[in-house]
């Protein structure tokens, strides 16, 4: 069994590009200023590839995935 993967946002590094929400709309919404709101921190297996893509695409390196409890 693979460990649970969770998302987190570095709120200090994030400047609200919104690219993460475009790439992972199943787990990320944007607030009225364009900053990400994680609708669910747990990343289901079916979305792992999309989550890795969103993390890699973040221009400020503010989105992260962690192994551990969901």
CATH number of 5-67: 3.30.70.20
What local confidence, expressed as pLDDT, does residue 67 receive?
Answer: 78
Is residue 1 pLDDT above 60, yes or no? Answer: no
Is residue 69 pLDDT above 60, yes or no? Answer: no
Q: Where are the domains of the chain?
A: 5-67
- Residue 14's nearest CA partner among 67, 55, 69 is 55
Is residue 61 pLDDT above 50, yes or no? Answer: yes
- Using an 8 Å Cβ cutoff, are 63 and 25 in contact? no
Instruction: Provide the 3-class DSSP secondary structure of residue 8.
Output: strand
Local structure of residue 36 (DSSP, 8 states)? E
Give the chain's largest Cα–Cα span. Answer: 39
Is residue 70 pLDDT above 50, yes or no? Answer: no
- Over its C-alpha atoms, the chain yields an Rg (Å, rounded) of 11
pLDDT in tens, 10-47: 999 999 999 999 999 999 999 999 999 999 999 999 99
């Amino acid at each position: 069994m693979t460990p649970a993967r969770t998302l987190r946002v570095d709120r200090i590094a994030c400047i609200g590009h919104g690219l993460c929400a475009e790439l992972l709309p199943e787990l990320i919404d944007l607030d009225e200023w364009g900053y990400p709101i994680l609708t669910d921190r747990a990343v289901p297996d079916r979305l792992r590839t999309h989550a890795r893509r969103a993390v890699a695409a973040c221009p400020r390196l503010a989105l992260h995935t962690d192994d551990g409890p969901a």
